[in-house]
Amino acid sequence: MSQVEVSGNSLVQKATTWLNFNGQRVNHHLYSRFIAPETELWFFGCGLGEQAIFDQMGAAFLEECAEKDPALGRIIISAGLSATAHMVYKGDWNIWWAFGDHDGWALEHFAKTFVQPKILLCASNKVAQGVAYTGLPTLKFPFAVGKVFKPLGLEREGLGYAGNPIKSPDQYRMLVEPFIKRSDFEWISKHADDKYLTLTELNEWYNSKQIVFGMAGMGALKLNTPPNRFYETLASGTPFITAKYDTVESVGFQYPYMSSCQEETVALVEDMLSKFPETLAKFAEYSKEIRKKHNVNLRIKTLFEALQKF
C-alpha cells in the first residue's frame, strides 16, 4: 500500500506493509521516500515520532535539492530497531541512524538487518561509543526540527502532555500524575482518543499551553539522546519539563528544566508559572537557538557534505 504526492519535479512516496503482531494483523509503516531528479532519500522505520522526523527531513531534502541536487543516487536511512528498520532495500548509500533501548542493541541490528550499512549516524557520544566496535564511519547526527515548529504568539493557558499513554510508569508518576486532575490539563494521544494531529496542528497545540511535559523511552535516557519531541517543543517556544538525562550535550546548552521526582516537578511548575512572562522569554531564546543550530536543513547539508567526501 502506498501514497504518492508530486510537487514540481520532486516526488514523495510512503508505503506500508502488513505484519502479524501478537496474533493481530496490523498496518505498519515501511518506508518514506523523497525523490529529486538525481538523488533519492529513503527512510525505513515506524511510529509517529519517527514519521515526524522523516517528514521534516524529507521536506528539507527536497528544498536543498531544489537549490542544488548533489547527484548522490539512492540514500537509504534506517532508524532504530523496529522491524521495518531491518527490512531495508539496497541503495547507493545504506545508512543506519543508530539507536536502541537495551543491552546489545547495536549487535541486534547488525544480526537482523537485511542490508549492512556503510555509515552510522550517531545522535550522542554514548551512541557513538556503542557502535565504535564496528569500525564503520560515524557521523554526529542529533535529531532536529523543521520550519513548522515555531512560536506563534498565541494566548497560552494550562498544562499538557502529547504522547502515548504511560510510556514509562515511573515517568508518568513523576511528571504527569501530580497534574492529571487539574481542569486546565490536557492529554492528547492517538491511542487514547484517536485524535491525530498534523505537525502544523501539533505546533499550534504547543503554542496554546503554558507548560508541556515530556516522557522519554529508556533508550533515550540511557544514550543521552533527547527525542525529536524535545527539539520540536523547544522550537515552538513552549516551556517544557522532561525526565532527567545524564547529559544533553547534543543540544549545546545547559537545560535546567529536567526532573527526577514528583516534588521536583511540582516545584518547577510552581516556579515557572509564578513568573510566567520571564519563563516565556527564556523559552523564546531557546526557540531561536534550536531553530538556528538544530534545524533539518542543516542536518541534510551535513549529510550531503559527508557523503560527497567518500
Here the cell at position 50 is: 519517527
Task: For the chain, report the end-to-end CA distance as a whole number of angstroms.
Answer: 35
Q: Does the pLDDT value for residue 74 go beyond 60?
A: yes
d(CA 55, CA 133): 31
Contact 231, 290 (CB under 8 A): yes
d(CA 10, CA 34): 7
| Each residue's pLDDT tens digit, 177-225 | 999 999 999 998 755 445 668 899 999 999 999 999 998 777 777 888 8
Contact 177, 269 (CB under 8 A): no
DSSP 90: P
Domains and CATH numbers, the chain: 2-144+295-309 (no CATH), 159-293 (3.40.50.2000)
d(CA 239, CA 200): 18
d(CA 288, CA 175): 26
User: Per DSSP, what are the bridge partners of residue 77?
Assistant: 43, 95
Average of per-residue pLDDT across 71-89: 92
Q: Which sign, positive or negative, has the C-alpha torsion 183, 186, 187, 189?
A: positive
User: Per DSSP, what are the bridge partners of residue 4?
Assistant: 13
pTM of the model: 0.88
Helix (H) or strand (E) holding 25: strand 24-35
| Each residue's pLDDT tens digit, 98-143 | 988 778 899 999 999 989 999 999 998 889 999 999 999 999 999 9
